[in-house]
Amino acid sequence: MVNCGLEHGHFVLSDATFPGSTETILKRPPFCPAKLLGEQPAASAAAVLGDRGVTTGVAVLLQASTRRVLLTRRAATLTIFPNIWVPPGGHAEPGEELLDVGLRELEEETGLRLEAGTFSWRMLGLWESIYPPMLSWGLPRRHHIVSYLLLLSTESHERLQARMCPNENEVSAYAWLEPPVLEHVAATEDGAESVGTIPSTLPTTVSIMELCHGLARATEIPTATFLNTAPTEGEDVERVSTGTKFALRLWLEAVGELAPVWP
């Protein structure tokens, strides 16, 4: 556990509490390049990344009143994690509050503007993200600490979707996923050689909205796509990011008391 918060316009992590700080969990994957580089003589993530430092990011798990959660597929043209499914999110500007970052990025990426009084929120946890995520894919080029926030909307996913106008420069598709699918996504472990397999309790396909030239078209993709794991070697595959799976596990814990059994 760590304490985090803004102090003099900077995002601070500490093992001690400080005014305005929040205690939360900080995790990274077992195959994190920072950990593996640190085990090599005269090598570290800091040495490789130079003066770029660690960037603060925010990602929001938006849950509609219908219990569906919004995930977006990053555009294929992006240099970091292309074609990977993640919640809306991005970098924090200097002095910007974490919630404000999440709301801004949600609007910039999806067109959704949440008005005060239509949602509640809480921090889920922190994730150390390095790209590429595995040393077998090359030396680190980006280093982030991502704050995952849970936003509980009072509106249904149908009403929220009706207001969406995603930015195709960042998003190529989006989906409102149901809890049973999300539970299985959260249970998959990255770093394995296998691709996703579909449990008999899940449908074989999932409905998504594909974006093309300003239009959103409903289509179906294999459920196994969301259950894919990050391969240890070779090219990456379309999948849900490792950090998102971490956030979904925390989400399941957070909503468990309110909905111990999904309908």
pLDDT tens digit sequence for 58-85? 999 999 999 999 999 999 999 999 999 9
Q: Report the chain's mean pLDDT, rounded to a whole number.
A: 87
Give the residue-averaged pLDDT of 34-50: 56
pTM above 0.75?
A: yes
Class of residue 158 by CB neighbours under 10 A (exposed 0-12, middle 13-18, buried 19+):
exposed
Residue 97, pLDDT score: 92
Residue 144, pLDDT score: 87
Q: How confident is the model at residue 141 (pLDDT cuts 50, 70, 90)?
A: confident
Residue 257, pLDDT score: 55
Per CATH, which fold does 2-256 belong to? Nucleoside Triphosphate Pyrophosphohydrolase (3.90.79)
| Structure-derived torsion over alpha carbons of residues 187, 54, 37, 239, reported in degrees to the nearest 10 | 30
Residues 6+ apart with CB under 8 A from 40: none
In the beta sheet, which residues pair with residue 142? 131
Does the structure show a pLDDT above 60 at 48? no
- Listed in order, strand segments (DSSP E) in 202-241 are 205-212, 215-222, 239-240
Class of residue 252 by CB neighbours under 10 A (exposed 0-12, middle 13-18, buried 19+):
middle
Does the structure show a pLDDT above 50 at 135? yes
Element (H, E) at 160: helix 157-162
Q: Nearest 5 degrees, angle CA 58-CA 60-CA 63?
A: 170
Does the structure show a pLDDT above 50 at 41? no
Helix, strand, coil % over all residues of the chain, rounded to 5: 25, 35, 45
